[in-house]
Amino acid sequence: MYYISERQSKILQYLKIEKQFVTGNTLAKKFKISDRTIRSEIQAIKKICGEEIIVAVKHKGYRYNINYSSNGIYCALDIVSPKDRLLYIIKSLLLNVEGIDIFELADELFVSEKSIETDIVRIKKILQDIDLINITLTRTDNTIKLNGTENIIDNVLYEICKYQEIEVNYEEFQKIFNDINIGYINFLVVNVLNKYNYSSRYLSITRFTLDIALMIESIYNHYYHRGSFYRALIEKANVEVPDYYNKISTELQNIIKDKLNIKLNEEDNTYIQYVLYITHKIYLLEIEISQSFTNKDDFYLFCIKVFDKLKNNQGIYFVEDDELISSFILHLRLALERSRLGFKLYNPLGETLANQYIYLIEIAIMIAEEIEQEYHTKFNFNEITYIGIHLTTILFPSLENNINKLKILLYIPEGNGNLTLIRHKLSSLVNMSDIIINGVTDLFDAQNLKQRLLNYNLIITSSKRFDFEITNIYTISKLFDKSCQYKIQKIINEKITHIKEQTTRKIILNITNEQLFIPNLKLQSKEEIISYLSNVLIKENFVDTKFEHYVLQREKIADTDLESGAAFPHSLKNIANRPAVLIAILTEPII
């Protein structure tokens, strides 16, 4: 196995293709480097792969030696950036289940042990952030090991590549594979799928190719067999896969054996069948549902009831466009079927939506909760964020002004002059971006008045003529004096805070549960916080009684800053009984 740089690999491949002498000057122009650099690269190739690999003749140049025996293996190990290094380390850990020595890894990657230490910390954080259940990175002395790989369903390399915002293609993955050509495997895969007219928008060819590349390299290098990682997934699925997918998998297996002299085992073959089947099934189901979908469908009628409920109870209005509404409901139906099948979509905009468009996500959560209750199927957060994206097509542009804001009815029967004056005073007391004020001097039709008033979070009025009890009505003086202003300002700010807390709670409860969300924690020191939160986790059986000690020891190594919130260091996930996210919000910062 020869480790040469990407440029050296390209120079070697170019000489192999030319099959004749190529001058140093021609090579320099081809690769846009100097003649001197070409000479250095040729010397480096010869030093690594052997003198006989390239024939060098003065005044003629360089020629690849066709009689050179190397089994056709050239390793373009072009791992320069920290992002590429992380992918290489993960791949090595996946294939070396007994663990790898960090000093050997540092030598292999031509970096310091300190760089590897930094990479380990980053990998632990990424594994936590992408929420791979029970997958942990541990270290014993100088050996690091990836635990829980038997539970892997998602392709870890692929997920980390997306997390790091690396362009997902086989050229990028080629950097971390030493002795197989990812592009060639991709070519074989596409040819077999085309032969059987296989098509599914849910099958990522790059991801599928990467799966097969891991299988091949595990066999080629006599590592613990990649196929065994999928056993739990196949057993859990418990599905009868039609023979059509077995034929495709067998064909692919035979071609890999013929072209690469690698025989995939039965577990690999079963996994390939399963991936092809499940991605094709959801695709075919999508087509079937789309073709048979009508506005008389039970699911359609149920969704219309949900929209009406949101309109009446939350003041959320949808466009009156049957085509757009039907398209959105069709998306909900497909999301339901994907969730039923356990098929998980990835939404690259999910985090952005959750952070910047909370009002969309909140509505998506409301809709998802209604569907979950009726059809007993829970949506994952990625599906909810996709619902949020589709919501933009059916909500009025002014929706942002009607959701997650305090809706105030200002009823001043004394006339427009008084109404304008009081409204102006109100605008100077509070942040107007957090509220909507509907000012009126007459309530007009008294029919269903009480029901209409319930659509507001707060009613401010100078009238004393209401003949029914509503808890959110506050009476002010006609002059709206200073004491009155102070009282209303306090009430409005309290209600705004409550709305924001409820919005945050709904988002947070999609990633944790009620027991692990503490919105108003009143403690005075970091030690008190650690003790309190540790006891919460111990009580819920997420950690053992030694957890608080581990946290305090971790704090001595790397101090956690506390402002308005607290979070346990992610590295402590390794000693947890099961994964959990505990979120606490302090009432006051710890200084």
Considering the domain boundaries, does residue 527 fall inside one? Answer: yes
**Least-confidence region, from 163-172, 248-257, 282-291:** 163-172
Do 415 and 478 meet the contact criterion of CB atoms below 8 Å apart?
no
Comparing 464 with 285, the larger pLDDT belongs to 285
pLDDT tens-digit map of 133-145: 567 888 888 899 8
Alpha carbon separation from 37 to 22, 28, 34, 40, 66 (Å, rounded): 15, 8, 5, 5, 24
Considering the domain boundaries, does residue 47 fall inside one? Answer: yes
DSSP string, 200-217: -TT--HHHHHHHHHHHHH
pLDDT of residue 243: 92
pLDDT tens-digit map of 209-267: 888 888 888 776 655 555 454 555 556 556 678 899 999 999 999 999 888 888 888 87
Out of 76, 109, 125, a domain closes at 76
114 Cβ contact partners less than 8 Å away, ≥ 6 residues apart: none
pLDDT tens-digit map of 317-345: 888 888 889 889 998 998 998 888 777 66
pLDDT tens-digit map of 300-312: 999 999 999 988 8
CA-nearest of 569, 566, 457, 552 to 520 is: 566
563 is in which domain, residue-wise? 514-586
Helix (H, G, I), strand (E, B) or coil at 198: coil
| Spatial distance between the Cα atoms of 68 and 74, rounded to a whole number of angstroms | 12
Do 194 and 250 meet the contact criterion of CB atoms below 8 Å apart?
no
CA-nearest of 241, 240, 239, 250 to 195 is: 250
In the chain, the N- to C-terminal Cα span, in Å, equals 56
DSSP one-letter code for 22: B
Query: What CATH number is associated with residue 25?
Result: 1.10.10.10
State yes or no: pLDDT of 42 exceeds 70: yes
Report the percent of the chain where pLDDT is more than 70. Answer: 76
Task: Find the radius of gyration of the CA atoms of the chain.
Answer: 32
CA-nearest of 540, 538, 530 to 568 is: 530
Residues 38 and 65 both lie in one domain = yes
pLDDT tens-digit map of 501-512: 777 776 666 656
Residues 70 and 112 both lie in one domain = no
Residues 268 and 304 both lie in one domain = no
Helix (H, G, I), strand (E, B) or coil at 142: coil
Out of 136, 166, 196, a domain closes at 166
* Amino acid at residue number 342: G
State yes or no: pLDDT of 577 exceeds 80: no
Q: Token pair of 242, please?
A: 């039609």
pLDDT of residue 155: 63
Which residues sit opposite 76 in a β-bridge?
Answer: 4
Give 483's pLDDT tier (boundaries 50, 70, 90).
Answer: confident
Exposure class string for 84-100: b at 16+ Cβ within 10 A, else e: bbbbbbbbbbbbbbebb
Q: Token pair of 524, please?
A: 């005075």
CA-nearest of 412, 545, 546, 527 to 480 is: 412
Which residues sit opposite 55 in a β-bridge?
Answer: 63
* Mean pLDDT taken over the chain: 78
131: region left, alpha or beta (phi > 0 left; psi from -120 to 50 alpha): left
Predicted TM-score (pTM) of the model is: 0.52
pLDDT of residue 131: 61
HSE toward the beta carbon, residue 259, CA cutoff 13 A: 15
Total Cβ atoms within 10 A of residue 171 = 11
Residues 141 and 92 both lie in one domain = yes
CA-nearest of 304, 315, 381, 311 to 349 is: 381
| Spatial distance between the Cα atoms of 315 and 436, rounded to a whole number of angstroms | 12
Total Cβ atoms within 10 A of residue 82 = 13
Residues 231 and 278 both lie in one domain = yes
Out of 480, 503, 526, a domain closes at 503
Residues 61 and 132 both lie in one domain = no
- Order across the sheet with 136-140: list the strands: 100-101, 143-147, 136-140
Give the range with max mean pLDDT: 458-467, 494-503, 512-521.
494-503
pLDDT of residue 192: 94
Considering the domain boundaries, does residue 262 fall inside one? Answer: yes
Number of domains within the chain: 6
Query: What CATH number is associated with residue 465?
Result: 3.40.50.2300
| Spatial distance between the Cα atoms of 434 and 400, rounded to a whole number of angstroms | 11
Considering the domain boundaries, does residue 124 fall inside one? Answer: yes
| Spatial distance between the Cα atoms of 303 and 326, rounded to a whole number of angstroms | 10
Residues 15 and 71 both lie in one domain = yes
353 Cβ contact partners less than 8 Å away, ≥ 6 residues apart: 347, 360, 361, 385, 388, 389
* Amino acid at residue number 205: I
pLDDT tens-digit map of 92-119: 888 787 888 998 888 777 778 888 889 8
141: region left, alpha or beta (phi > 0 left; psi from -120 to 50 alpha): left
